[in-house]
A and B are shown apart, each in its own frame.
Chain A
Amino acid sequence: MGRHRGYRRPVVALLAVALALGACTAPPATVEADRVQGLYNLFLIAAAAVFGVVAGLIGWNIVRYRARGDESLPVQTNTNLALELLWWALPTLLVIGLFVASAAVLNTNDAKHPGAPLRVKVEGFQWQWRFTYLDSKVQLTGIPGSPPELVLPVGTTVDFELVSDDVIHSFFIPSFLVKRDTIPGVDNHLELTINQQGTYTGQCAEFCGLLHDQMLFSIRAVSASEFAAWLASQRPSP
């Protein structure tokens, strides 16, 4: 084990973290997701800073204080009250800061706005999804191998009503940086506002049995006028 190797591990690890920084999450596509992305970046910076300090100290120990042949016993220091109080206090302050940021984003994102313009019922069942536009009664049902595509307007608050017909599933859209479980016997709600047009993949994220891996769907976000036209075309003719 060469002496220089003590430097290698922390450096490699820091590079890996930087790589993760670059790759990041899926690009956020909702108003709420933008806030989550900001919070995530804050946490990442804090984590990287802590990692740098702690890994650096460990690396320093490995390099500077390695035993070099026959030596006398080192000074048997085993306590330092000021130091210990400091390293209890600093993490506590950091944690409080992270909590305050978390609470702010959580309360804003989870806030419920009664009378949301668009209500969609999301039913999870083994092993696909059924989407129902509650006001217009348009319904889309997926079958394994043929995922349904939910069309939604950009800029409108959507209120998803999440229910399950059998076991627990989870409604997960990576680009929206959010998931919410569908639980039998529970009426869950998830509100969000898409702010980017595009097609986003979604998938069940709570293990639900044999074909859990095939419980896919997608969301296509279009302009409000396109959405109105599409919805009209889906309604059964009178």
Chain B
Amino acid sequence: MAEELRFFLRTAAYTAVIGILYWIVSYEWAGSLMLAFVAVATGLVVVVFFLVVRATRGPLTDNGGGTLRRAGLAVARLVGFAEPRGPAGAEPLAAGLEPIPVGSTWPLVAAAAASMIGLGLVYGPWLSLPGVALAAITVWGWITQLDTRR
């Protein structure tokens, strides 16, 4: 099992066990529920990872296999899972340098929109509603931004 998967599994296992122990010892709702949610959240990641890792053992173009494998492939494509890397020991950068996108105004504008919404929660809708509008514009701009490469 991949180390990445075990990493989440340890947290899920521990918080599940300790959550049950804590409930038995205290009957305290807040802590027990929070531990349970941590266990569920990390457990969910484990399940998804497991599907994806198992499904992508073979070549990604092969769409055969059982339901579980096809589900895993679908998730893998959805999250943009790349082709498996070269074998360990392959020379790094052997494929050449990739262009890296540089610069975007949208993060700054998004933070400004968030600030308007946040401050608007304190000072009134006259500030937060324009903030929501700006946030909508930002989402659109962000999604549709093309790579600007130098």
Direct touching of A and B (C-beta under 8 Å): no
| A residues neighboring B (CB under 8 Å) | none
